[in-house]
Structure formats: C-alpha cells, structure tokens
Amino acid sequence: MCGAKAGGPDASTIKPGETTIQGQVTRDGEPVTGYVRLLDSTGEFTAEVPTSATGQFRFYAAEGTWTVRALIPGATADRTVVAQPGGLAEVAIAV
C-alpha cells in the first residue's frame, strides 16, 4: 500500500489525489544523507528510502498515522505524521 521513490522530492511530481509524506533530514541545520523508514501505526516496517544528497525523502502512503524514522550515521530520530487522503504531509527531522 506504500510506494517509495528515492532522490530529492520535487513538488511538481506529486500527482493530485496521492497521499504523500515527504521531508528533509538535517543535523545542526545541514542536510545529511542516510535512510528513512516508514513504520505503520503498530510500528511495523513498511518501506525504506535513501535520502537525497540534500537530505530529502518521499513516500507515497495510505492515509493514517505513520512514524517516519531517520537513520543516519551515529543517530536516529522518529517523527509521527498523520497522512490525510490525497494530502501532502511535510516532515522535518533534525538528528
């Protein structure tokens, strides 16, 4: 129920009606590379994508409550996000 695309999100590529979760991972205000996982409301792994060179990521997901987990060298951080049907949920993760 979730598709993931690697690379930096480009808002112009979001299709109307798709439920999208996207954001950026930073450390001390600077973008960092690593991986971002999407966990469902029970904590089950759903998808994983690498961040772009600018720390950006994007998931296409079903509506609901999700946990976005950033995994970068030496740190992890979780953020909870509620995805609305056909909406765009922006997530900023500072590690």
- Domains in the chain: boundaries: 3-11+19-94
Confidence (pLDDT) at 18: 83
The percentage of the chain sitting over the pLDDT mark of 70, rounded to a whole number, equals 83
Binned at pLDDT 50, 70 and 90, residue 77 comes out as very high
Confidence (pLDDT) at 11: 55
Contact, 83 vs 66, CB < 8 A? yes
CATH of 3-11+19-94, one of 1.10.1040.10, 3.40.50.300, 3.40.50.720, 2.60.40.10: 2.60.40.10
Q: What is the pLDDT of residues 9-35, one digit of tens each?
A: 555 566 667 899 999 999 999 999 999
